[in-house]
Amino acid sequence: MINIYDNKKKQKIATTDQDWVVPHIEVIISPSKNGASFGNGEHNGKKAIINSVSGPHNVTIRLLDANSKPSSEVMTISAEYLQPVRPEKKQNLIVIAGEYKGQRGQLIGIDVGDGIVKLEGGLDFKIMTMSLLAKLADA
């Protein structure tokens, strides 16, 4: 489970395993909130791309290799073992929670815990809490 907060509205906006999980974002495999590891922990710390989501316990991912390129290794994992990778400046992103959930954009800059985001198709910039953003996997 991951908690996502909107600092501007001072509220939690996503709390369940499935709320933030969307295809095409980069994630890191990590121990769950209770400390349990996926499998025997051999994948902890590895990055992956979410291919599809069919429920909180059925997230299909493709592992990334050492060069951050998709590998041939595909697995199904519970969302409790995944954490979203935050975008860096000038990287493409997907909003994973809140009012703009599902929209794509680019991170223009970072100011403390907020990202300055240009959403696709928009003319203006949005200031969003970084916890609302996930790195869009490279095509």
Q: Which domains does the chain have, with CATH numbers?
A: 4-84 (2.30.30), 92-135 (2.30.30.30)
Q: Is 92 helix (H, G, I), strand (E, B) or coil?
A: strand
d(CA 103, CA 78) in angstroms, rounded, equals 24
The pLDDT of 20-48, averaged and rounded, is 92
Tens digit of each residue's pLDDT (9 = 90 or more) over 70-125: 999 999 999 999 999 999 999 999 999 999 999 999 999 999 889 999 999 988 99
How far apart are alpha carbons 13 and 135 in whole angstroms? 19
Q: What is the pLDDT of residue 101?
A: 92
pLDDT cut 90: percent of the chain above it: 68
Quick one: pLDDT band at residue 19, thresholds 50, 70, 90?
confident
Tell me the average pLDDT of the chain.
87
Q: Angle at Cα 111 formed by Cα 106 and Cα 114, nearest 5°? A: 65
Contacts of 44 (CB under 8 A, 6+ apart): 29, 30, 31, 37, 38
Question: Would you state the pLDDT for residue 1?
Answer: 44
Comparing 46 with 55, the larger pLDDT belongs to 46
Percent of all residues in the chain with a pLDDT value above 70, rounded to a whole number: 86
Residue 13 in this model has a pLDDT that exceeds 70: no
Q: Give the contacts of 51 (CB within 8 A, at least 6 positions apart).
A: 23, 60, 61, 62, 74
E-strand ranges in 1-139 read: 4-6, 11-14, 26-29, 47-53, 59-64, 70-77, 82-84, 92-95, 104-111, 114-119, 125-129, 133-135
